[in-house]
Amino acid sequence: MKFCSNCGSDHLEFIIPENDTYHRYVCTNCHTIHYQNPRLIVGCLATWENKILLCKRAIQPQKDLWNLPAGFLENGERAEEGALRETLEESKAKVDIVRLHVLYSIPIVNQVYLHFLARMKTPDFGTTLESSEVQLFDPKDIPWDRIAFQSTTFALKKYLEFGDEYNGVHIGSLEKKAMWK
C-alpha cells in the first residue's frame, strides 16, 4: 500500500495499532487504519443423477485443469447468490443449493472457499469464457491428476466419502506453501 485511500497521503506505517494484534497499514496523516481481510471464493459441487459437474479452466491460474465452478464473492452479495452466479457463469448450469458442503481456508493467499452442495435443475450446461470444457463425471472417472486446486480435491473427496446425505460442513485448510499441485 502506497497511499491512504481515505485522504490520499503517502504517510503510511505498517504497525500494530493500539489494542490490535496484527500489523496494519496506518495513515499517520488522518489516522485511518487500513484493514486487509481474506477474499471469499464461492461455488458449487453440482450433481445430476450421481454425476459431478466439473469445468476445465480456460483462464489462469491452472488453465486446462478441472475445477468446481467457483469464483470471488462480490460486495453486497450473499454467499449462496454468489455460488449460484459463479456456477451459471462458469458452466451455464442452473442449480438449487442443498447446503454448505465445505469451508476451506488457504491462509497463505488470504482466501476462504465456500463450496455448496447443489442439484442441477436440468442436465443442461456448456462452455463459457472461463471454461473451455464442462462435463458431468461419474465418480470413478474424475480426472484426479488434472484437478486445479486443493480446495476442489478436498470437496470432491469429502463428497465421495460421506455422500450428499451428510448434514455437517467439512472444514479443511492448506497450510503448506505449495498452493497448486
Neighbours of 69 (CB within 10 A): 32
Interval 146-171 mean pLDDT:
94
Q: How many CB atoms lie within 10 A of CB 36?
A: 11
Least confident segment among 27-36, 73-82, 162-171:
162-171
Domain 39-173 sits in CATH 3.90.79.10? yes
The yes-or-no verdict on residue 165 having pLDDT over 90 is: no
Mean pLDDT value across residues 63-70: 98
Query: What's residue 105's pLDDT?
Result: 97
Where do the domains of the chain lie?
1-36, 39-173
DSSP string for residues in 49-67:
TTEEEEEEESSSSSTTSEE
Q: Please, which residues have CB within 8 angstroms of residue 91's CB and are 6 or more apart in sequence?
A: 46, 53, 55, 69, 125, 126, 128, 131, 134
| 138, pLDDT greater than 50 | yes
The pTM (predicted TM-score) of the whole model is 0.87
pLDDT at residue 181, as a whole number: 46
Task: Say whether pLDDT at 4 is over 60.
Answer: yes
β-strand pairing of 51-57 with 39-48: antiparallel
Quote the pLDDT of residue 177: 56
The CATH architecture to which 1-36 belongs is Single Sheet (2.20)
Cβ of 128: how many Cβ atoms within 10 Å? 16
Q: Is the pLDDT of residue 180 over 90?
A: no
What is the rounded CA–CA span in Å between residue 25 and residue 1? Answer: 7
pLDDT of residue 179 exceeding 80, the answer is no
pLDDT band at 175 (very low <50, low <70, confident <90, very high): confident
- pLDDT band at residue 176 under the 50/70/90 scheme: low
pLDDT at 84: 98
Please provide the distance, in angstroms rounded to a whole number, between the alpha carbons at the two ends of the chain: 30
